[in-house]
Structure 1
């Protein structure tokens, strides 16, 4: 078994690349951000204050999250499509600052990686979740490219999405992710960083496959 960690800011193409790479290698794709969004979605549905979780431990104990066949399951329900709104993403960003939440989800993520080979993507995979990953990637792209990618993705479901507002939201999330006290977004010392602003998906996959071959992982 082996593990590939892909980190990077919002809209850098982590999910698309990680999913395609996992398909290419016939291993499991794990979107850790979806796990935070799933928790945020449940908190939102139950009208819980994300900044004041006095009952947080019971909330987490009563929650079951798993990733199967590229889909995220919350309490055995597939919520893959229900957690993709910008509103849920904002709430997930707030929730991710809580150390108890991070500890809970990191434990799940590590257990998954022990059971099967994975391509795992997020914001602290190479630094915190899988510090001994066989390959670590830090993926970046320009803010305009990242906004355009997220805009095109959201536009399919919400025709009212505004490009400039979305850009501000992404920049704000970048700042929150970088400056948060618990597991901030940063490049692992042994990660390969590359900017895919002007690369298509096939080029990005081939770049990583070459890295894997160079490290004798595949």
Structure 2
């Protein structure tokens, strides 16, 4: 795919994969190494979920969701300790990582109303190239023309173990329960009617079960430089 005039020496990178595969961490590090902008689409869906929960709106209440979305401003701002997420000016970076949000986000992500609005936001963000975006349907739906597409995965057991290690001491959850929840979320993401989790035909699959984060990041950075050379 040839770069268009004005694109400069940058490409867009789409990283898809199931929950707990390490997409956000990897995407953030890849963006940092390449000097690109990282867009955490999962955080955007979490922000919508949190906002809906606060208003007691369910994923099935499309009109109420639509009204809420039109009054919602989501900003992603880079910081010293990572990306901060703001909703209408409020920092919700920590709040969107609660178990309540985690357990409900797949239902809101399956909403056609939510996906239409957020996909539009995400495409606008990627318009000038030089973006690393992660999610469930970036390569297949949001950025189907991304020059590099990665499908990052890992076994359910490994993904549950990673989540288990990340949990704060006051949120202790049995490892077996996390495995069950991740498997259930996989099923929801794969079976939803709107933009299900599938590997794009031209995506490169990376199984990170036995790879360090640094190894995964290094592989993607190397692939991106190859793609950039091919695109010129």
TM-score bucket (shorter structure): over 0.9
Deviations 1:118-177 (A, max 9, x none): 1100000000000000100000111111001111112x2534222111110100000000
Moved more, 64-73 or 47-56: 47-56
Q: Is the 8 A contact 1:134 1:217 kept in 2?
A: no
How far apart are residue 55 of structure 1 and its match? 2.0
Q: Secondary structure at the match of 1:190?
A: coil
Task: Show structure 1 runs of 5+ residues with no match.
Answer: none
158, 161, 175: which one pairs with 1:145?
A: 158
Matches of 1:21 and 1:191, distance apart in 2? 17
Matches of 2:94 and 2:25, distance apart in 1? 15
Q: What is the aligned partner in structure 2 of residue 50 from structure 1? A: 59
91, 95, 100: which one pairs with 2:113?
A: 100
TM-score (norm 1): 0.94
C-alpha RMSD of matched pairs (Å): 1.5
Q: Is the 8 A contact 2:57 2:65 kept in 1?
A: no
Aligned length: 217
Q: What is the aligned partner in structure 2 of residue 39 from structure 1? A: 48
Matches of 1:49 and 1:191, distance apart in 2? 33
Moved more, 32-41 or 43-52: 43-52
TM-score (norm 2): 0.89
Cα distance change of structure 1 residues 143 and 75 upon mapping to structure 2, 3 Å threshold: same
Task: Show structure 2 runs of 5+ residues with no match.
Answer: 1-9
Q: Secondary structure at the match of 1:51?
A: coil
Q: Is the 8 A contact 2:45 2:105 kept in 1?
A: yes
Q: Secondary structure at the match of 2:201?
A: coil
